[in-house]
Amino acid sequence: MNNSRILVVEDSPQMLNLIRTILLRSGFEVVTAMNGKEGLDAVRMHDVDLIISDIMMPEMDGFQFCSEVRKNSRSDNIPFIFLSAKGGMQDKLSGFEGGADDYITKPFDPNELMMRVTAILKRTSRYRLEAYTDSLTGLSNRRYFDKKLAEVVSLSHRYKKNFGLAIFDIDFFKDFNDKFGHLVGDQVLIHLGRFLKDHLRDSDFSARYGGEEFVVILPDTSKETSMMLMNRMREAVQDKPLIHDGKEYRITVSVGVAEYPTDGDTARELIKCADDALYESKTSGRNCVTAYLKKQAANS
């Protein structure tokens, strides 16, 4: 939790610096903005864990800013604290009705601010763990993957960077379940989930996409490098069988790889391209990695 990123939106440079200093001393990462419009840009650019905002600001006030944050599906669940000199009951009511999770009046006690920040981050952390984690494999789930992919697309567009997207499919998983039972099938999914956690780079992101499919985002990575990394992963999966109840189960995977923005410049297009490439891997004999090619779209 100490590495949480907090966005502070405040038009007074002195107050902004004070809040920033208090948060930095407690080990938080801090992003700042001077008004609501800058705040919305910051939310789009950064993966923010908490927003602390003033109300009375130029261009876009805190109430409008909070409303815009809550309208966006990518940011609607970010906890939001108003920190304002407007301390009337109607102001607080408006704040909570507008979507705030807490309301602190100025002047404020730094210790109280930190207690409230810590409490709200703990609650949010528990919620996110439950809402965004696949209960079987411990990887992120489809819901969080969709959120993460949208963020990576946005950042890659802004900074003109490419990245790779890979979709894994466990070969003949239905036959595996039918032959050995669903309990062993679950162990196969757990095995691959653990494998991805242990073998991917720190910068990479993996999730269970659904059923026997897994997805990997490879930031700032070309298609050629993505292919090389995924082939290494495929070979490693093949060479490391699952050992369960004294029995050995050999597993292979088929993989499809696409690159942003070469193959698709939206999350939806990129997933389709990687899925088309995965289909090619399956029809080519499985246990292989295929990169998306434009001709695949013409043939599909």
**DSSP E strands, the chain:** 5-9, 29-33, 50-53, 80-84, 102-105, 163-170, 205-210, 213-219, 242-244, 247-249, 253-260, 289-291
3-state SS assignment for residue 286 = coil
CB contact at 8 A, 137 and 190: yes
| Burial environment of residue 48 by CB neighbours within 10 A (0 to 12, 13 to 18, 19 or more) | buried
CA–CA separation, 81 and 225 (whole Å): 42
Of 10, 212, 259, 280, the catalytic one is: 212
CA–CA separation, 188 and 251 (whole Å): 8
| 261 preceded by a cis bond (ω within 30 of 0) | yes
212 tagged catalytic: yes
Give 222's DSSP letter. Answer: -
Catalytic residue IDs: 212
